[in-house]
């Protein structure tokens, strides 16, 4: 059996691969049998792995982190060409990255109450959940958008009705999904082709996506504020008539 040092530097053993991607040997072999990653590169009787295997395994892990089922992951990966470069696969991970300036923090119920500065009833937690601030997690813990928690508690203190928060959640979810679908289509039809044609490097495209996130959020806030002001003006005009 050839020693790893005798293999091309871009190739690695199964043990080296599992250490690099943080997966067990069993998981790597399972994903290989499912066709989510290609079989190892053969060198005599031994199998070795490349950066292509690394990038595809990292994509699978990213999809799992976003709650994709195995069948959904299989369908997603099946749409990626077999000869896609590690850079292209990394770009898929970039587009999957959460569009959040601050990731939620997981805390216990006691810590959540301490940070809120007041007791939180079941209805309070439901309202904060509807507002997108507090989400139940495993083992009685909660994921909290820490920066927004004081605003949510202030709304509770002002008597924000649960049914109003739930109705607002339905509005946010519906319009948010539509915006997400349209922006995804924009990247698919306008941005991605430019990269594929060689006009944009992988590094530039990754930076473009990252920089577009805060700009898009700010633009949505501005558009929402303008729309609210215009709606108010229209309502006042109708009433004065």
Domain ranges, ordered by start, for the chain: 4-96, 105-160, 170-240
Q: Does residue 64 surpass a pLDDT of 50? A: yes
Residue for token digits 């108010």?
232
Q: Which residues contact 22 (CB under 8 A, 6 or more apart)?
A: 61
SS3 letters across the chain = CCCHHHCCCCCECHHHHHHHHCCCHHHHHHHHHCCCCCCCEEECCEEEECHHHHHHHHHHHHHHHCCCCHHHHHHHHHCCCCCCCHHHHHHHHHHHCCCCCCCCEEECHHHHHHHHCCCCCHHHHHHHHHCCCEEECHHHCEEECHHHHHHHHHHHHCCCCHHHHHHHHHHHHHHHHHHHHHHHHHHHHHHHHHHHCCCCCHHHHHHHHHHHHHHHHHHHHHHHHHHHHHHHHHHHHHHHC
Instruction: For the domain covering 4-96, report its CATH number.
Output: 1.10.1660.10
Residue 100: per-residue pLDDT: 56
Looking at per-residue pLDDT, the higher value among 137 and 102 belongs to: 137
pLDDT confidence band for 118 (50 / 70 / 90): very high
In the prediction, which pLDDT does 125 show?
95
Band of residue 207 on the pLDDT scale cut at 50, 70, 90: confident
Per-residue pLDDT at 9 exceeds 70: no
């Amino acid at each position: 059996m050839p020693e790893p040092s005798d293999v091309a530097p871009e190739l690695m053993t199964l043990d080296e691969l599992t250490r690099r991607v943080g997966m067990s040997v069993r998981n790597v072999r399972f994903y290989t049998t499912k066709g989510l990653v290609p079989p190892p590169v053969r060198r005599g009787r031994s199998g070795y792995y490349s950066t292509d295997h690394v990038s595809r395994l990292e994509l699978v892990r990213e999809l799992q982190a976003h709650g994709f089922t195995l069948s959904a992951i299989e369908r997603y990966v099946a749409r990626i060409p077999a000869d896609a470069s590690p850079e292209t696969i990394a770009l898929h991970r970039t587009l999957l990255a959460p569009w959040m300036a601050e990731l939620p923090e997981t805390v216990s119920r006691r810590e959540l109450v301490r940070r809120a500065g007041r007791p939180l009833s079941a209805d309070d937690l439901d309202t904060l959940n509807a507002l997108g601030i507090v989400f139940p997690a495993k083992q009685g813990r909660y994921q909290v958008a820490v920066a927004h928690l004081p605003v949510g508690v202030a709304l509770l203190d002002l008597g924000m009705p649960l049914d109003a928060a739930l109705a607002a959640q339905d509005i946010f979810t519906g319009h948010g999904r539509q915006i997400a679908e349209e922006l995804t289509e924009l990247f698919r039809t306008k941005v991605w082709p430019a990269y594929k044609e060689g006009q944009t490097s992988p590094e530039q495209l990754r930076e473009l996506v990252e920089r577009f996130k805060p700009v898009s959020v700010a633009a949505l806030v501005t558009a929402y504020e303008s729309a609210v002001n215009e709606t108010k003006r229209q309502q006042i005009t109708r009433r004065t008539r």
